[in-house]
Amino acid sequence: MIVVFDTNIWKANLYLRSEVAAAVNFFLIKKSAKVGLPEVVRLEVERHLREDIKKSRSQIISGHDKLLAYFGKLHEVKLPTVAEIDELIARYFDETGFDIIEIPFSYKAAKSSFLRVINKERPSGKKQEFKDCVLWENCKTLANKHNVILVTDDGGFFEEDNSARRLATSLSLEAEKCRYGLSVLPSLSDLLRDIEQPITINDQALEEAINIHLGVDIDGLLDRAGFYRSDARFETTFYATEDSNVLYVEFAAEFNCEDATGEGRTDATLRLKGNGSYSDANNSFSNLKATELSIPYVTREGEQEGKSHYYLYAEGAAFGHRTVTHVVRKKLSK
């Protein structure tokens, strides 16, 4: 399967650095799908990205100048230079995390697109969108070798120029002539709904990881409280991240516990909450941290008691201006 994103989809989703884009990338990798990048889209995205970065930089400079006038003295703001912006754009598509197939601009696609424009055929229509016509021709060519999904919210591809409607009839008839499937979706969210699937894990792998990373804390609490643990139950919630190969995971575990003191305490459960990272490719957990650890129980006299620990992880100390990192957390379906 090959997925092609129109320029408007790149722009609307932080140039595919958004939370939804991260989730889409994760599931495309699971499906061994690739992203088609027509040259007409690449060139247009590069232009818009450069303009948006420069606009953001200008807004920050303007805002900083106003604040400087108010306060009289401020720390200097360090912003990307023109050279750094150019370097970013030059390597941008290589660093998206998507498995990209370049689709060069061709004379054949150009000629077919020009004819669409002068004949006012979709997706050109009233606006004479040459680029959209080239994009459609590229997708049809791909669809003779692979199943293709085009993601665009450009009205020219849809009935009544409305992306909320179905694919335009004339384009649908053309798509049917392709050897493989060619479909059009209006947003990344629609694509995600089509390709998302539950994340299934091996509870034993999670339990082993908990024992490795958190076993000392768990056993310490059990010893102090006078209990030993037995069978366990687990719940997990996964999030796509800025790293397409790694998921962020929040987990909860409950271990049935038995009184080791002979004091007749009952209904004891060791409850653990935490988070960490998960590699779907390796079915392995890493960097597990506890946020809550407790053992509620009932005394022989019928009173509810328990022992609890809560954990707070602070960021490392920094001197001067701290460097921050773009972090993505997109909750995935169960």
| pLDDT of 196 higher than 60 | yes
What pLDDT was estimated at residue 313? 57
DSSP 230: E
Distance CA 211, CA 213 (A): 6
Residue 306 bridge partners (DSSP): 296
Distance CA 130, CA 122 (A): 10
d(CA 309, CA 224): 12
Kindly report, residue by residue over 91-102, the tens digit of the pLDDT.
999 998 899 999
Quick: pLDDT tens for 36-65: 999 999 999 999 999 999 999 999 999 999
pLDDT in tens, 275-314: 999 998 888 999 999 999 999 999 988 888 887 666 555 5
Predicted confidence at residue 314, as pLDDT, reads 52
Look at the domain 2-195 and name its fold: Rossmann fold (3.40.50)
Looking at the whole model, is its pTM more than 0.85?
Answer: no
Strand 100-103 versus strand 227-240 pairing type: unpaired
Average pLDDT of the segment spanning 212-230: 91
152-164 per-position pLDDT tens digit: 999 999 998 888 8
Q: Could you state, in order of their start, the residue ranges of all structural domains in the chain?
A: 2-195, 203-331
Q: In this predicted model, what pLDDT tens digit does every residue of 68-111 receive, in sequence order?
A: 999 999 988 899 999 999 999 999 999 988 999 999 988 888 88
pLDDT per residue as tens digits for the range 5-43: 999 999 999 999 999 999 999 999 999 999 999 999 999
